[in-house]
Chains A and B, each alone.
Chain A
């Protein structure tokens, strides 16, 4: 307290030192004056410190303390305001502080007193921070990818791949900012290849609920699974693995609210629960008065040693579909489903980097298992279909900027009533699967080129797909999740 008032006095006093357009000599003088002030400040700080200690030892008489402080600050203000005589400057050039140790080198500016703190750099210099993600594809495939098929699954709209040939993938623009001390906001708009803008995410989050809680509300990607919460440009491969496409229409995002709580434990342990409107696949029709989907998840993780770490997640999603319509690629028909979908996801991620330094080499292994059931009425036929699936993948950065990866994915759906033979739910005795290989070159952390080959055995006709992709990010873009 005392020291602060004295510092304030000092600052006021030093502001009185005339500063104008200075010649080299004057600059030197000024520097010397600054040094002297610095020395005086230190001296007074020391004096005051001892005073403080003594005072504390004595009766801590507040009145006495105040009067001493006033005396001291007055004294100092007077001393500081007095223009220093040349000989004083010479003395001051060698303050007791370590400044004289710089003799071996040119004086550097940080020796000046109370260096003006550099302006704090926030996540971005602008409010809001605007970032753009650009994405482009070239796809060569032995069969058309327009109407993707996955034997035994009625797929959502966004489960597909880019069309053959050149295409502009999703381009995104995001706006992120703190709204006030309590809230932050995020808006992400994506443009699909047909120029339609979509509000991908638009949410607010709390910043200081305390006790490890945060609440998020608006439209956002659910925290279930491992890759669901990440934007597509942050995935390790160009497309979502089969189970994400089959069970969640690539990823689950909807309008709703999320609560997360991070336990104050030594290992990472986070709990989350969400309620959504229930308007996106596998939910539909905003059932239950617009609360059609509920989720819960637990994330945990830790380091194994300096070089390796892991993350595990267990997630549950319950969604209701009220007249969900999906395309049947075989009959060019539309299927209707009303019922419930339950889904559990177990996710495991392992990362390795020698000595914890991922810049040269690193390895990321991940896998997720899906198990779920759809119960309800599908095209007027009652169904209770269990489905499962998994993927495992590994991406190895073998030298700076270069990485290679492989992925295997598979999904299975149980048989359905003969009444539904030949529909999307009929798996024709086939288990959809896909093998993918990837080669990636990163121009920097903001630019990436990919070559991805997939042998896609999801539908009844297998497809060989060769995909070239670029992804770039510019503008202040937040750091990525683990």
Chain B
């Protein structure tokens, strides 16, 4: 038994010498995986732990994630407790102190922006609330821009040899992305003031950016699936305050929003929410291209 173990350990040690790029990035969500690739180019190898089809609040702490975290130099995550249900277990089991909370190898995007909806009282009776504020910052591309500067600095700090490379890529990204934001903002002008219903209360930053007006969420409390009784209440509210359309993220259960769509006679719009959420959202540019296109489509219906 003991000999077998030693043998297996040696085998594993030798098998594990892949050619690494300079920085091994463990991105919790696809938007940060995409941003890491934009800034890091071929100097980083990016592993994205979740897909646009997954609810980032609820991920199983799968063995594959632990194995990837073991060799990571830096985690790039939303933070603000979005990943509290799974990431701490991954990090603990990964035995990798580089990415432990508070280390330079733990990058939380939400630390570099001002979070909205910081709760005044923390009570789980209020549902799945995040103590630091609403973490879904990637629904506003301006947040991505803010975070990109901090992330490029972090990459430079962790990999000083390529600091100039990261900074120049960051400058290039900033230029292209700023131009794209200007384009999206202009395209989205007709959306300003549009009343909408949302399935999960995850769009506050996008609403802020585009001037959308959230009439009602389909969840009675954040993270609590709606009962039919609550949906009836939502319908009543929508009669008094009609919404143009109801939006949900690609990963979300389609039933609540389809139900409301049918009963209230308003379109249900699926938004990518993150990179990979829809086929068109291939990267950060595609993400907002597609988001704006789908929102504008909702106005026409």
Q: How far is the CA of A115 from the CA of B149 in the complex (A)?
A: 12
Interface residue ranges of B1-36 to A (CB < 8 Å): 1-2, 5, 8-9, 12-13, 15-16, 18
- Which one of A260, A358, A400 contacts B95 once the chains associate, using CB atoms below 8 Å? A260
For A401, give the chain B residue with the smallest CB separation: B225
Q: Contact check, A120 vs B108: say whether CB atoms are below 8 A apart.
A: yes
Q: Contact check, A120 vs B12: say whether CB atoms are below 8 A apart.
A: no
- Interface-side segment among A105-113, A192-200, A365-373: A105-113
Q: Does B51 contact A (CB under 8 A)?
A: yes
Q: Does A122 contact B (CB under 8 A)?
A: yes
For A111, give the chain B residue with the smallest CB separation: B142
Interfacial chain B residues near A56, Cβ < 8 Å = 164
Q: How far is the CA of A183 from the CA of B8 in the complex (A)?
A: 28
Most buried by A among B85, B142, B177, B186: B142
- Interface-side segment among A80-88, A268-276, A406-414: A268-276
Q: Does B63 contact A (CB under 8 A)?
A: yes
- Interface-side segment among A156-164, A303-311, A327-335: A303-311
Q: Does B286 contact A (CB under 8 A)?
A: no
Most buried by A among B108, B114, B182: B114
Q: Does A462 contact B (CB under 8 A)?
A: no
Q: Does B67 contact A (CB under 8 A)?
A: yes
Q: How far is the CA of A478 from the CA of B71 in the complex (A)?
A: 23
Q: Contact check, B1 vs A208: say whether CB atoms are below 8 A apart.
A: no
**Min CB distance, A265 to chain B, in Å?**
5
Q: Does B112 contact A (CB under 8 A)?
A: yes
Q: How far is the CA of A45 from the CA of B108 in the complex (A)?
A: 23
Interfacial chain A residues near B111, Cβ < 8 Å = 117-118, 120
Q: Contact check, A300 vs B63: say whether CB atoms are below 8 A apart.
A: yes
Interfacial chain A residues near B208, Cβ < 8 Å = 105-106, 108
Q: How far is the CA of A120 from the CA of B178 in the complex (A)?
A: 28
Q: Contact check, B53 vs A355: say whether CB atoms are below 8 A apart.
A: yes
For A112, give the chain B residue with the smallest CB separation: B114
Q: Contact check, A309 vs B102: say whether CB atoms are below 8 A apart.
A: no
Q: Contact check, B182 vs A98: say whether CB atoms are below 8 A apart.
A: yes
- Interface-side segment among A209-217, A248-256, A383-391: A209-217
**Min CB distance, B218 to chain A, in Å?**
13
Q: Does A417 contact B (CB under 8 A)?
A: no
Q: How far is the CA of A291 from the CA of B167 in the complex (A)?
A: 57
Q: Does A44 contact B (CB under 8 A)?
A: no
Interfacial chain B residues near A268, Cβ < 8 Å = 63-64, 66-67
- The total of chain A residues at the interface (CB under 8 A) is 79
Q: Does A121 contact B (CB under 8 A)?
A: yes
- Interface-side segment among B54-62, B239-247, B257-265: B54-62
**Min CB distance, A438 to chain B, in Å?**
19
Q: How far is the CA of A209 from the CA of B253 in the complex (A)?
A: 42
Q: Does A43 contact B (CB under 8 A)?
A: no
Q: Contact check, B67 vs A269: say whether CB atoms are below 8 A apart.
A: yes
Q: Contact check, B60 vs A302: say whether CB atoms are below 8 A apart.
A: no
- Interface-side segment among B76-84, B230-238, B266-274, B293-301: B76-84
Q: Contact check, B5 vs A296: say whether CB atoms are below 8 A apart.
A: yes
Q: Does B281 contact A (CB under 8 A)?
A: no
- Which one of B143, B211, B223 contacts A106 once the chains associate, using CB atoms below 8 Å? B211
Interfacial chain B residues near A19, Cβ < 8 Å = none
For A447, give the chain B residue with the smallest CB separation: B124
Q: Contact check, B55 vs A357: say whether CB atoms are below 8 A apart.
A: yes
Q: Does A262 contact B (CB under 8 A)?
A: yes
Interfacial chain A residues near B140, Cβ < 8 Å = 108
Interfacial chain A residues near B124, Cβ < 8 Å = 444, 446, 474
Q: Does A5 contact B (CB under 8 A)?
A: no
Interface residue ranges of A253-293 to B (CB < 8 Å): 260-271, 273
Q: How far is the CA of A311 from the CA of B64 in the complex (A)?
A: 9
Q: Does A356 contact B (CB under 8 A)?
A: yes
Q: Contact check, B113 vs A482: say whether CB atoms are below 8 A apart.
A: no
Q: A105-B192, A265-B12, A267-B67 are in contact. Are A359 and B88 (CB under 8 A)?
A: no
Q: Does A480 contact B (CB under 8 A)?
A: yes
Q: Does B115 contact A (CB under 8 A)?
A: yes
Interfacial chain A residues near B115, Cβ < 8 Å = 118
Q: A118-B132, A264-B70 are in contact. Are A301 and B63 (CB under 8 A)?
A: yes
Q: Contact check, A266 vs B108: say whether CB atoms are below 8 A apart.
A: no
Q: Does A23 contact B (CB under 8 A)?
A: no
- Binary CB contact string for chain A from 377 to 420 against chain B (1 if under 8 A, 0 otherwise): 00000000000000000000000110000000000000000000
Q: Contact check, A125 vs B131: say whether CB atoms are below 8 A apart.
A: yes
- Which one of A49, A208, A310, A358 contacts B58 once the chains associate, using CB atoms below 8 Å? A358
Q: Does A316 contact B (CB under 8 A)?
A: yes
Q: How far is the CA of A49 from the CA of B182 in the complex (A)?
A: 26
Q: Contact check, B211 vs A262: say whether CB atoms are below 8 A apart.
A: no
Interfacial chain B residues near A112, Cβ < 8 Å = 114
Interfacial chain B residues near A115, Cβ < 8 Å = 112-114, 146
Interface residue ranges of A93-145 to B (CB < 8 Å): 97-98, 101-106, 108-112, 115-123, 125
Q: Contact check, B18 vs A479: say whether CB atoms are below 8 A apart.
A: no
Q: Contact check, A479 vs B12: say whether CB atoms are below 8 A apart.
A: no
**Min CB distance, B148 to chain A, in Å?**
11
For A98, give the chain B residue with the smallest CB separation: B178
Q: A120-B102, A355-B51, A357-B251 are in contact. Are A267 and B64 (CB under 8 A)?
A: yes
Q: How far is the CA of A49 from the CA of B63 in the complex (A)?
A: 42
Q: Contact check, A118 vs B110: say whether CB atoms are below 8 A apart.
A: yes
Q: Contact check, A445 vs B132: say whether CB atoms are below 8 A apart.
A: no
Q: Contact check, A208 vs B5: say whether CB atoms are below 8 A apart.
A: no
**Min CB distance, B61 to chain A, in Å?**
5
- Binary CB contact string for chain B from 169 to 211 against chain A (1 if under 8 A, 0 otherwise): 0010000011001100110110010000000000001001111
**Min CB distance, B185 to chain A, in Å?**
5
Nearest 10 pairs between A and B by C-beta?
A301-B63, A268-B63, A208-B97, A263-B12, A355-B53, A479-B89, A268-B67, A109-B114, A264-B16, A110-B113
29 contacts between A and B (CB under 8 A): A97-B178, A101-B142, A102-B185, A104-B192, A108-B209, A111-B142, A112-B114, A115-B114, A118-B80, A118-B110, A118-B133, A120-B108, A122-B101, A207-B97, A209-B97, A262-B66, A262-B67, A262-B94, A263-B13, A266-B68, A298-B5, A298-B8, A356-B50, A357-B58, A359-B55, A360-B253, A400-B253, A478-B88, A482-B66
User: Which residues in A have some Cβ–Cβ distance to B below 8 Å?
Assistant: 46, 49, 52-53, 56, 97-98, 101-106, 108-112, 115-123, 125, 207-210, 212-214, 260-271, 273, 296, 298-303, 306, 309-311, 316, 351, 353, 355-360, 400-401, 444-446, 474, 478-482
Known A-B contacts: A118-B110, A265-B16. Give 13 more (CB < 8 A): A115-B146, A120-B111, A123-B88, A208-B100, A260-B95, A262-B94, A264-B12, A269-B67, A271-B9, A301-B64, A302-B64, A401-B225, A481-B61
